[in-house]
Amino acid sequence: MTAKPATLTAAFVGRLGTFHLDARFEVPAKGITALFGPSGCGKTTVLRCVAGLSRLPEGVLRVGRDVWQDGARVFVPPHRRPVGYVFQEASLFPHLSVPANLRFGQRRAAAGDHAIAFDEVVDLLGLGRLLDRPTAVLSGGERQRVAIGRALLSQPRLLLMDEPLSALDRFSKDDILPYLETLHDALDIPVLYVSHDIAEVERLADTLVLMEHGRAKAVGPLSALMADPALPLARLPEAAEVLDARVEARDETYGLASVSVPGGHLLVPGRVGAVGSPCRVRILASDVSLTRDAPGPAQSSILNVLPVRIVGAEPTDAHLVTVFLHLGADGQGAPLLARITRKSWDLLGLAAGQAVHAQVKGVALVERGSDPTAKDEDTP
């Protein structure tokens, strides 16, 4: 009999002041789970309940086999919960050096519990060059990397990240995201990641808890929720599908990799691992258009043209439509989103069930420090 994969089970139902929370979810106790939703929907409150900083009498929280809360009967106090907490603002000690800030995290770890070594954290977060800089002169992104390192060195069983990038400008965000992607691959610590930036969620999360008015409205794998027409996610301006892919071949001459995804093949710019290794690709809905007939070879600068089947369509605004697709002429492959004008939808006479072709103008690798913004008419 195979063991059931470990899960994180949370049920926080009740009132905090005038706010009613009804957050019930079970997610894998591995990878990154994003709590996503508009401002004030209760994301931080859920994290505080998980950390034990807010207490609802009927709350339940299990992390793997450990019970951290079971109603009023069991309540592990916050200082006994092995969680690392990373906030919006990196609250480093300005009078301590960078290594001393990092070692402060190590001091919080249980004696003898050093699964994540200091050097490993320095390496993963690219902190080597920062170790002898005064803490006070670090940039926002550098401070946040140190804060993440400090949290990891406390040897957490669970990492809680509350909008860790939202205080950073676009440039610093892009600087730090590849580090988070690398951590996701390298470490075996489940992460609850609060964000209201869907692009960030798409790049990092495996699982999504969609929050609305204090309620967990939907819970599941990111790509499945993105492809659900009943949810508002696919209609967001930066809606994208993230697909599990496998490297098939590398074309060093053009800096491209050929990857397979369920139901199709894509050419992707950027550095990938060895042939056969897994990777993930992100395809924005706004980078996908539809055509009835695939253009012949050397007729279009868009290299990725894939057979797809239309599952459905929803209006995005007055003139745009979000089209829900499945890869493959038989529609048995991975989900994909396209954003086209309502006029094009009508002119092409498109309808659910039809087999058409998706022209994918931009594909980005989302792991291992590839250039996530690579996009160009002449590259796929």
Ligand X SMILES: Nc1ncnc2c1ncn2[C@@H]1O[C@H](COP(=O)(O)OP(=O)(O)OP(=O)(O)O)[C@@H](O)[C@H]1O
Best CA proximity match to 233, nearest among 114, 102, 337 = 337
Count interface residues toward ligand X (CB under 6 A): 13
Torsional sign, CA 176, 181, 182, 188:
positive
Cβ–Cβ < 8 Å for 105, 96: no
Output the residue with the shortest Cβ distance to ligand X. 17
Q: From CA 151, how far away is CA 114, in angstroms rounded? A: 13
**What does the block give as tokens for 296?**
């012949």
No. of helices (H) and no. of strands (E), the chain: 8, 21
Tell me which stretch binds ligand X (CB under 6 A): 15-23, 126-134, 139-147, 176-184. 15-23
Decide if residue 53 touches ligand X (CB under 6 A).
Answer: no
Q: How far is the CB of 280 from ligand X (least distance, A)?
A: 26
Question: Of 12-20, 176-184, 288-296, 369-377, which part binds ligand X (CB under 6 A)?
Answer: 12-20
CB of 281 to ligand X, least distance (A): 28
The distance of closest approach from Cβ of residue 90 to ligand X in the complex, given in angstroms and rounded to an integer, is 17
Of 45 and 101, CB closest to ligand X: 45
Q: Tell me which residue of 268, 226, 220 sits closest to 247, measured CA to CA.
A: 268
* Rg of the chain, C-alpha, whole Å: 22
What x-and-dash track marks residues 189-228 binding ligand X by CB under 6 A? -------x--------------------------------
Q: Are 225 and 214 in contact (CB under 8 A)?
A: no
> For the window 313-342, what string marks contact with ligand X as x by the rule CB under 6 A?
------------------------------
φ, ψ for residue 65, nearest 5 deg: -90, 0
Nearest to ligand X of 39, 373 (CB atom)? 39
From 38-46, 184-192, 220-228, 332-340, give the range in contact with ligand X by CB under 6 A.
38-46
Give the interface segment with ligand X, choosing from 1-9, 13-21, 171-179, 311-319 (CB under 6 A). Answer: 13-21
Of 44 and 106, nearer to ligand X (C-beta) is 44
Minimal distance, residue 138 CB to ligand X, in Å = 24
Residue nearer to ligand X on the CB measure, 88 or 182: 88
Least distance to ligand X, CB of residue 228, Å = 21
Q: Is residue 99 within 8 Å of residue 105, measured between CB atoms?
A: no
Give CA–CA dist 266/257, Å, rounded. Answer: 8
Q: Looking at 32, 34, 44, 175, which residue binds ligand X (CB under 6 A)?
A: 44
Contact 358, 294 (CB under 8 A): no
Q: Would you count residue 62 as binding ligand X (CB under 6 A)?
A: no
Question: Strands, DSSP E only, in 29-146?
Answer: 32-36, 60-63, 66-70, 74-75, 83-86
- Contact status: 42 vs ligand X (CB under 6 A): yes
Binding mask 141-180 for ligand X (x = CB under 6 A): ----------------------------------------
Sheet with 66-70: strands ordered across? 74-75, 66-70, 60-63, 7-16, 19-28, 215-221, 207-212, 32-36, 191-195, 158-162, 83-86
Using CB under 6 A, list all residues that contact ligand X. Answer: 16-17, 19, 37, 39-45, 54, 196
